[in-house]
Amino acid sequence: MQSIDTLRELFHYNDQTDRVLFTACAQMSDEQLDKSLDLGLGSLRRICRHILAGESVWLARYQKQEVAWPDEKVPLAINSLLQQLENVWRERDQFLSGVTPSQLAAEQIYRDSKGSLFRASLEQMLIQGVLHSHHHRAQVCNGIRRVGGNPPELDYMYSVRKPAMN
């Protein structure tokens, strides 16, 4: 079983890297953000929109709420997406602050985006929430490169390592 502290640390890393990526995307033109890419959901803006959708839906599932997958075709400004993401992160962190080990182990039933019912422990659902956007972040980095940008370094160790003492 993962500790809630480990899960919080991984979510914190996700939040930091998403913020860095969304900030990089916010500096790009609409033409760059909406350029059709043979990658992921087709454009940088759509991939960013999907990251927000995933974070929102998984939060609702943790809280045992049923929500429909948001319409990802609605074009939103990257700064607006980031602001909405930050709201989801705050709500998620508030939820996590009250989670106990017994709640982590408890199974829940949730509906996927196609309406099928599944059963998983809250811990498994949280792990999925941590992992969901990893490959989407790779798509965003690749997309930034394809439209002429310079993607930021997002490796976990860059976010936690410290210089060695001599």
pLDDT tens for each residue of 46-101: 999 999 999 999 999 999 999 988 888 888 999 999 999 999 999 999 999 999 99
Cα–Cα distance between 149 and 98 in angstroms, integer? 41
Task: Return the amino acid letter for 125.
Answer: M
Residue 98, class by beta-carbon neighbours within 10 Å (0-12 exposed, 13-18 middle, 19+ buried)? exposed
Could you name the CATH architecture of 4-98+106-160? Up-down Bundle (1.20)
Query: Tell me, what's the pLDDT at 166?
Result: 62
- Please state the domain extents for the chain: 4-98+106-160
Q: How do residues 27-60 score in pLDDT, each as one tens digit? A: 999 999 999 998 878 899 999 999 999 999 999 9
Q: Percentage of the chain surpassing pLDDT 70? A: 99
Q: Directed axis angle between helix 44-62 and helix 134-146, to 10°?
A: 170
